[in-house]
């Protein structure tokens, strides 16, 4: 018999069964019980699956970029030089509570299985510095041969990923969540990719090597594919494990009316859950929102214009935006995701201006490529001022109630 049961038995006999409630176990009160999802701030990662290209391929990309004519519109490839830990390590050791996943359609398989980048880099190697590593096989299990959505950054040149298949990413998240059922809700931002490149961008490469390399041409996201993506999500997470638009709209005509009247869910009701939002705007968002007016019955939140019936979440990459500012959006009930850094620029220059603005803006999700510093660049990283390096969240500087204590926001 446990000590607790012995005490209860003794109490019963001494009091002749009248009760002795002082010996009953008392759960410690949850200090965050009344905090709502929009009243905290967490740190996220951008392109959370990404592993940077090999040294040899990066050098080859730099060479081809140097041969492009001015005004080609191609971003400087130095922005590709970053990697992230596997998702479970981000959630655990780094305290990440928002991730971003790029998803490409591959309904028949094989579309992205043989990227030309490694072959082109080997062919260019006599023109590059010696001793550059070509990297291990990016897909030793041949996962890219199978049908189903794939996860990587850019076809043919930036294709290394810690979870090549979308379903594998979902399973990794679900397994960590199952093992850590009291975690703060995790936002999973989905960028549905369909970017096709101008073939003339490869003219310098093809001329130099007398070959005919071509970028893989992606499928376009249409409504049936969007609904099939929802099915993949529901296959990994039961409704009880997700925060969905209906949970927030609560029957009101628009999402923001539900938010402003009833509030976002409480943290105590939301632990152990995930929720999904579309990074995309334009046609992809409009198809999805058109199928789910006011997002009634939808699985995924959308970054929709203020005033639209599905508005409630906003992707605002620029923390300095105005009219309205992020702080104004947050004060009006919106959840906002912004970015502390982009394209490695802040880390290379150890420039904290954008990071500090992002944290001060009140955006609930501040995304970075540098939760930990890349010391090859600088000491730049994104941490909550005054809190331990692995703190998972803090009181939101715009929306948190005065009594909120950041040290109580765990795990």
d(CA 38, CA 40): 6
User: What was the pLDDT predicted at 16?
Assistant: 45
Q: How confident is the model at residue 408, as a pLDDT?
A: 94
What is the distance between the alpha carbons of residues 264 and 38, in angstroms, rounded to a whole number? 6
pLDDT tier at 28, thresholds 50, 70, 90? low
Tokens 């929009």 belong to residue: 38
pLDDT-derived band at 4 (thresholds 50, 70, 90) equals very low
**Token output for 25:** 């176990």
Largest CA distance in the chain: 97
**346 closest CA partner among 378, 384, 324:** 378
pLDDT value for 41: 98
Secondary structure (3-state) at 44: strand
274 pLDDT higher than 60: yes
Token readout for 150 is 């794939």
Q: How far apart are CA 398 and CA 326, in angstroms?
A: 10
Q: Is residue 335 predicted with pLDDT exceeding 60?
A: yes
Residue 332 has pLDDT above 70, yes or no: yes
**Geometric angle at alpha carbon 55, from 53 and 60, rounded to 5°:** 85
Structure tokens at 174: 């679900």
Q: How far is the C-alpha of 124 from the C-alpha of 117, rounded, in Å?
A: 10
Q: How far is CA 38 from the centre of its chain?
A: 17
Q: What's the CA dihedral at 321, 327, 328, 332 to 10 degrees? A: 130
Q: If you average pLDDT over residues 352-371, what whole number do you get?
A: 98
- The per-residue pLDDT of the chain, averaged, comes to 93
Q: How many CA atoms lie within 13 A of 183 on its CB side?
A: 29
pLDDT digits (tens, 9 = 90+) for 131-145: 999 999 999 999 999
Phi-psi region of 259 (alpha: psi -120 to 50; beta: other; left: phi over 0): alpha
The pLDDT value given to residue 26: 55
Nearest to 299 by CA among 220, 222, 228, 221: 228
Q: Is-cis flag, bond preceding 411, omega within 30?
A: yes
* The two three-digit tokens of residue 197, written as one number: 């490149």
Between CA 241 and CA 368 the distance in angstroms is 26
Cα R_g (the chain), whole angstroms: 24
The whole-number pLDDT of residue 70 equals 87
Instruction: List residues bridging with 41 in a β-sheet.
Output: 394
Instruction: Tell me the per-residue pLDDT of 46-77, one tens digit each, with 9 for 90 and over.
Output: 999 999 999 999 999 999 999 999 888 899 99
Which neighbouring-strand residues pair with 336? 314
**73: phi then psi, degrees, rounded to nearest 5:** 85, 5
**Residue closest to 104 by CA, chosen among 249, 220, 232, 252:** 220
According to the model, what pLDDT value does residue 31 have?
A: 77
Instruction: Return d(Cα 87, Cα 96) in angstroms, integer.
Output: 9
The tokens 């992606």 sit on which residue? Answer: 218
Alpha helices in 134-202 (DSSP H): 166-179
Q: 192, 325, 320, 293: which is closest to 304 by C-alpha?
A: 293
Q: Output the CA torsion 401→360→326→154 (10° steps).
A: -130
What pLDDT is stored for residue 33 in this prediction? Answer: 79
> pLDDT for 96-113, tens place per residue?
999 999 999 999 999 999
Q: Are 343 and 316 in contact (CB under 8 A)?
A: no
DSSP 8-state class, residue 158:
B
pLDDT band at 375 (very low <50, low <70, confident <90, very high): very high
Task: Examine the pLDDT at 256 and tell me if it is beyond 80.
Answer: yes
Query: Would you call 104 helix, strand, or coil by DSSP?
Result: strand
Q: Measured between alpha carbons, how far is 395 from 405 in angstroms, rounded to an integer?
A: 7
Rounded distance between C-alpha atoms, residue 221 and residue 285, angstroms: 10
Q: Is the peptide bond before 27 cis (omega within 30 degrees of 0)?
A: no
């Amino acid at each position: 018999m446990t000590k607790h049961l012995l005490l209860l038995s003794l109490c019963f006999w001494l009091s002749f069964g009248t009760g002795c409630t002082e010996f009953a176990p008392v759960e410690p009160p949850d200090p965050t019980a009344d905090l709502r999802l929009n009243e905290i701030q967490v740190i996220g990662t951008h392109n959370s699956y990404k592993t940077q290209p090999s040294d040899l391929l990066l050098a080859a990309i730099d060479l081809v970029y140097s041969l492009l004519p001015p005004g080609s519109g191609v971003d400087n490839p130095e922005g590709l030089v970053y990697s992230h830990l596997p998702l479970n390590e981000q959630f655990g050791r780094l305290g990440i509570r928002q991730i971003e996943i790029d998803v490409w359609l591959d309904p028949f398989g094989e579309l992205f299985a043989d990227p030309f980048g490694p072959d082109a880099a080997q062919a260019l190697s006599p023109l590059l510095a010696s001793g550059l590593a070509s990297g291990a096989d990016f897909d030793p299990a041949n996962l890219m041969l199978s049908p189903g959505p794939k996860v990587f950054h850019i076809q043919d040149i930036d294709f290394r990923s810690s979870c090549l298949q979308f379903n594998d990413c979902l399973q990794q998240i679900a397994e960590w969540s199952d093992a850590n059922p009291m975690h703060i809700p995790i936002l999973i931002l989905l960028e549905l990719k369909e970017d096709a490149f101008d073939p003339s961008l490869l003219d310098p490469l093809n001329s130099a090597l007398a070959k005919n390399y071509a970028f893989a041409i992606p499928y376009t996201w249409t409504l049936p594919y969007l609904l099939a993506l929802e099915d993949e999500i529901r296959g990994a997470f039961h409704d009880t494990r997700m925060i969905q638009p209906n949970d927030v709209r609560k029957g009101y005509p628009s999402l923001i009316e539900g938010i402003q009247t009833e509030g976002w869910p409480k943290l105590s009701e939301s632990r152990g859950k995930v929720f999904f939002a579309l990074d995309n705007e334009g046609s992809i968002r409009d198809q999805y929102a058109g199928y789910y007016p006011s997002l009634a019955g939808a699985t995924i939140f959308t970054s929709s214009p203020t005033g639209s019936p599905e508005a409630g979440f906003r992707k605002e990459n620029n923390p300095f935006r105005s009219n309205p500012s992020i702080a104004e959006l947050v004060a009006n009930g919106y959840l906002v995701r912004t970015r502390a850094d982009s394209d490695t620029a802040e880390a290379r220059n150890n420039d904290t201006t954008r990071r500090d603005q992002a944290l001060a803006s009140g955006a609930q999700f501040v995304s970075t490529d540098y939760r930990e510093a890349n010391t090859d660049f600088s000491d730049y990283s994104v941490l909550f001022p005054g809190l331990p390096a692995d703190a998972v969240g803090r009181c939101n500087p715009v929306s948190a109630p005065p009594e909120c204590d950041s040290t109580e926001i765990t795990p």
